[in-house]
Amino acid sequence: MSRVYVLLGPPGAGKGTQAAIIAEKCGIPHISSGNIFRENLQNNTNLGKQARLYMDKGELVPDGVTIGMVEDRLSQPDCREGALLDGYPRTPTQAQALNEFLKKNGNKINAVPFINVPSNELIERLSGRWTCKAEGHVYHLKYKLPKQANICDLDGSVLYQREDDKRETVEQRIKVYVEQTAPLIAFYKKDGLLFEVDGSLPIEQVTDKLMKIVNC
């Protein structure tokens, strides 16, 4: 693995939107822990059943389950050239585990772009979000409409509203982010890896700023 990027930001900041674009431009896989959990939910696997207990409440899935799952994914052959992580790590324990995993494999994180958006905007974004069933591509009722109503432009699958995008669950997810994930901002700043980007700009402008950080 050569280029490793961690996309940090609150729920609804645009991590998934930007990760899909940047990973394609850089030719590295987009690894979203949330998408892996949702695939498992859809396929009704044991991992999916376990994850549902936490995701529906807006809580984090325990580190013991999440760390192994992401390390398995990072060990796949398509990650040899690098990876763009979205939604992982999310706790100091996960961040430490990621550093150790990369070090063991002779690697390290290149940069941590942090997409920052005020909380009131996050709620509006998540309540208007529609997601595609097949691969998790995201749309928005106001900011990013699909060409055909309720159908994904990229793979033709049906769009749905995520269970955890209900207002009460979104509020809980933001609270969990502040308490458990925001400490990672200082963690990565200390190592000189953190680059903050204003995520309230239009999607294309956020992409331009991120591309300058990842430099590929």
* Annotated catalytic residue 125: no
State the maximum Cα–Cα separation within the chain, in Å, rounded to a whole number: 47
* Annotated catalytic residue 15: yes
Among 4, 6, 8, 15, binds ligand AP5 (CB under 6 A): 15
Report the site for ligand AP5 in 99-118 (rule: CB under 6 A). Answer: none
Q: Which is nearer to ligand AP5, 189 or 209 (CB)?
A: 209
Report the site for ligand AP5 in 50-89 (rule: CB under 6 A). Answer: 54-55, 58-61, 66, 87-88
Separation of alpha carbons 20 and 86, rounded Å: 10
Number of residues that bind ligand AP5 (CB under 6 A): 37
- Does the footprint of ligand AP5 cover residue 197 (CB under 6 A)? no
Among 29, 34, 82, 113, binds ligand AP5 (CB under 6 A): 34
The label of the residue with tokens 């109503």 reads 149
What does the per-residue mask of binding to ligand AP5 show for 147-186, with x meaning CB under 6 A? Answer: -----------------x--------x-------------
Q: Which two tokens stand for residue 34?
A: 């949330």
Q: Is 82 left (phi over 0), alpha (psi -120 to 50) or beta?
A: left
Separation of alpha carbons 177 and 23, rounded Å: 24
- Does the footprint of ligand AP5 cover residue 37 (CB under 6 A)? yes
Please check whether residue 135 is in contact with residue 22, taking contact to mean a CB–CB distance below 8 angstroms: no
Q: Which two tokens stand for residue 79?
A: 């990650």
- Does the footprint of ligand AP5 cover residue 139 (CB under 6 A)? yes
Residue of 57, 133, 162, 209 marked catalytic: 162
Q: Which is nearer to ligand AP5, 106 or 139 (CB)?
A: 139
Burial class (CB within 10 angstroms; exposed 0-12, middle 13-18, buried 19+) of 71: middle
Please check whether residue 32 is in contact with residue 87, taking contact to mean a CB–CB distance below 8 angstroms: yes
* Annotated catalytic residue 90: yes
Separation of alpha carbons 78 and 72, rounded Å: 12
User: SS3 for 124?
Assistant: helix
Binding residues for ligand AP5 (CB under 6 A): 9, 11-17, 33-34, 37, 54-55, 58-61, 66, 87-88, 90, 94, 125-126, 128-129, 138-140, 143-144, 164, 173, 199, 202-203, 206
Active site positions, annotated: 15, 90, 129, 162, 173
